[in-house]
Amino acid sequence: MKKLIALVLILLGAYLAYMGINTITGSESSVEIIGVELSATDEGAQSNGIIYLVLGLLSLIGGGVLFTKK
């Protein structure tokens, strides 16, 4: 049973980390008008992306610890 929970935590952690990276990368856009580049960032999306990353890493670590424990 512990191995199943560990596997679920590892898969959940990988998914959350993936979502965090995509959220952070997609939160910035830029436009070039007459040689001038304008960029805008969505700070709320970046914060959400960081939260996803932290939760993903914690899940990965927790799953790894559960998987290796006897």
Q: What is the pLDDT of residues 5-29, one digit of tens each?
A: 999 999 999 999 999 888 888 777 7
Looking at per-residue pLDDT, the higher value among 49 and 55 belongs to 55
Q: Following DSSP, what letter does each residue of 19-30 receive, concatenated?
A: HHHHHHHTTEEE
Q: What's the whole-number mean pLDDT along residues 40-63?
A: 88
- Amino acid letter, 34: I
- The answer to whether 28 and 42 are in contact (CB under 8 A) is yes
> How many C-beta neighbours within 10 Å does residue 4 have?
9
- The tokens of 56 are what? 């993903």
pTM metric for this prediction: 0.77
Q: Where are the domains of the chain?
A: 2-68
